[in-house]
Amino acid sequence: MSVVTDGRQVLAQELSPTQQILRSAARQRFTLLVRFFVYVALCVHACFIAIFWTIGVDSLAWINVGSVMIYMIAIWLGKRGQLDLAFFLCAAEILVHAAIATLVLGWASGFHYYISVIALFSFFHPSRRLVFKLLGAVTMFVLYVSLFGVSRGIANPAISTALLTFFERVNLFTFFLINVLLGFVYTRAVEDVELQLRSVNRHLDYLARTDTLTGLLNRRSMHEMLERALLRVDARNPFAVILGDIDDFKRINDQYGHHCGDLVLKEMAQLLRISVRAQDQIARWGGEEFLIFLPDTDREDAMIVAERVRKALEGHVCLCGDLRLSVTMSFGVSDHRLGDGLERTVMVADRALYAGKAQGKNCVVAAVS
């Protein structure tokens, strides 16, 4: 049995979260701009109908009736998700209307301003390659210059100079207003995208620093934190580490399954989190091991913290279905010595931990000075 997968779904799966947001935002931005422009253009053409009928230019009035119908169709297409077709329909209407109005009333009427809107909108399209957008802009420029050459000598005797000036000012104002409003809508859309990207980046940063199962820091994040602590460590700024390991965790996994094992890991992580001090940091170091970083702490204070954590875990029962699991942990404590590297500090804690395992588990062992 074969499965047919939509190509767009496959592409979406291959894109990173940031790329997906940018692609989706570009489409949403274009949708917003087109819908906004369609409603503005609909209102403008409705006004032109009244103006042209009032001054007795019935041909242009009827053309604007057709324009209104075209924009109503564009609204219908947009609601059906056929935004590209609505866009090209609007672009064709703008070009034809601007050309006819300019040829009837002359270049001085200012209807030619709207042709540049097509070139502007083409750059907002999310799916067209840049070369096609540039080609579209060049085409609009050629048509614009051609229209100027054809219409510059046209003077409609039925239209007074004052009326031409009125049209020119109205069209210039409308053209300016459209550009300002488009810029406003575009800016707001870009700001929304920036907020989404910041949110995604924060989430990605969280995922990069966090262990997925337990929600604790991962080994990489803890290592970076320890490196920063190493830069400022001195006699007045000591730090210590506690390395903990769940006792008999392999038996829990083998006997009760990985589901119970994962549950134990999550509960131990939660208990560790609430048992340490506010300034302490915890990471899942690997498997069933946890590393606790204790800033501004010497070995004696670290032993006190480790013992408090051990007692809190010792009295806890993990529930896995009908099972009640009493789980303990063993801990090795090491304070960082000046001149030692991080690897040695952690290695010393690891040796102390396994000395505790050899002593019977569920205990705290400090590294030997």
> Which residues participate in catalysis according to the annotation?
288
Structure tokens at 342: 């991080």
CA angle (43 as vertex; 35, 147 as ends), nearest 5: 90
DSSP string, 192-223: HHHHHHHHHHHHHHHHHHB-TTT-SB-HHHHH
Cα(298)–Cα(312) distance, rounded to whole angstroms? Answer: 22
Amino acid identity of residue 46, one-letter, is: A
- Helices and strands (DSSP H and E) totals, the chain: 12, 7
Pairing of strands 364-366, 329-335: parallel
Pairing of strands 239-246, 281-286: unpaired
DSSP letter for 368, please.
Answer: P
The span from the first CA to the last CA of the chain, in angstroms, equals: 68
DSSP letter for 11, please.
Answer: H
| Segment holding 273, helix H or strand E | helix 258-275
Cα(122)–Cα(129) distance, rounded to whole angstroms? Answer: 10
Are the C-beta atoms of 362 and 330 separated by less than 8 Å? yes
Q: Name which of 104, 255, 220 is nearest 167 in CA terms.
A: 104
Cα(278)–Cα(180) distance, rounded to whole angstroms? Answer: 52
Cα(292)–Cα(222) distance, rounded to whole angstroms? Answer: 9
Cα(328)–Cα(209) distance, rounded to whole angstroms? Answer: 27
